[in-house]
Amino acid sequence: MHQSVRSYLFHPDRLGVIASTLCIIHCLATPFIFVAQSCAISCCTSAPTWWMYFDYLFLAISFFAIRRSSRMTIYKSMKYALRICWSVLFVLIINESIGIIILNKNFLYFIAVLLSSLHVYNLRFCTCSKKKCCATN
């Protein structure tokens, strides 16, 4: 893959947007897929384990995207917003897996959309022609 295409596709904010969007699609599709399955085969109403592992895959991808985006952003508040949003998403997904507190799924959707929006917003304010112009080391 050409270097500029690879750097465009693997920009941490673009990667974060992709991961967050796929997470939202995954979360929204789950009820429809397993309602149809449970109607066809009345064995279980919960998602299989392999399907729930996608939550953790998206969390891992977004963790690395946020880690890199936090280093590249020029705004400290954006760095904290990305990290706090990811942390809340992490807690909500762990809570959903363990079932400590029963929460409406809309909280999870809202945080995933917020995280994706923060990545898009961060892209607008950290578009430099030089590699290190946005780094805040």
Instruction: Examine residue 28 and state whether it is found in any structural domain, yes or no.
Output: yes
Give average pLDDT by consecutive 10-residue segment, the chain, 137 residues: 54 76 71 55 58 81 84 84 93 88 86 86 66 50
**Sign of the CA dihedral running 98, 101, 102, 105:** negative
Domain span at residue 12?
3-125
Is 137 inside a domain boundary? Answer: no
Does 136 fall in a domain?
no
DSSP 74: S
User: What pLDDT is recorded for position 137?
Assistant: 41
pLDDT at residue 40 in the model: 46
Query: Is 52 within a domain?
Result: yes
Q: Is the CB of residue 120 less than 8 Å from the CB of residue 17? A: yes
Counted domains in the chain: 1
Evaluate whether residue 133 is within a structural domain.
Answer: no
d(CA 79, CA 65): 12
Measured from the Cβ of residue 122, the count of other Cβ atoms closer than 10 Å reads 26
Give the number of C-alpha atoms closer than 13 A to the C-alpha of residue 84, restricted to the C-beta side. 8
Whether residue 12 is contained in a domain is answered as: yes
Is position 131 within any domain? no
Q: What is the pLDDT of residue 3?
A: 52
Check: pTM over 0.95? Answer yes or no: no
Residue 134: inside a domain: no
